[in-house]
Structures are given as structure tokens and as C-alpha cells.
Amino acid sequence: MLKFHPKNLLNTGGKVLEKLPKDGIMHHIHSNDLMSHNQYGFTLAWSTTDATMAMKEYIKQSLEDNQFLVLVNLDIQGTFDAA
């Protein structure tokens, strides 16, 4: 199986110009509180560890309140390797 990895062929100036719109969009999203508070991956200051801790607190609270709880784990590691 062949795997291809894209290479960035832009020079330094092109890389800077590529980054400017992304930074502006992210600033707009964060300053206007448009990002979901449940978004943990690919964001500043939020990681998978934070998502795990939030899930732990949710489970703990549900058990203390005697609520039913169902946890579904979807492992998609390697899903996009052949895409």
C-alpha cells in the first residue's frame, strides 16, 4: 500500500500569508464565543486530557444522582490512513 504525504511547497512569505487568514478567523471565533464549549481537540488550552477529566466528572455526577449512564467508545485510529 502506498502512502502519500503532502509537502508544503510555499516559500516563507507564502507560509506567512497562509497563516494570516487562519489567525484572523480563530481570533474572531474566540473573541465572539462562537466555539462550542465541548470542543477539546485542535483548540488552544484544551486537550484530550481535559476531555477525559470532563467525562470523569460527568460520570461521577451521574452516579451520585442515581442516573442511568451509557458510555460508547469509538476507536477510529488509523481510519484515515488510506484516505
More confident residue, 7 or 4: 7
Predicted confidence at residue 2, as pLDDT, reads 47
Q: How many CA atoms lie within 13 A of 81 on its CB side?
A: 6
Q: Name the 3-class secondary structure at 74.
A: coil
Predicted TM-score (pTM) of this structure: 0.51
pLDDT one-digit tens code per residue, 12-24: 777 777 777 877 8
Q: What confidence tier does 53 reach under pLDDT thresholds 50, 70, 90?
A: very high
Q: How far is CA 78 from the centre of its chain?
A: 17
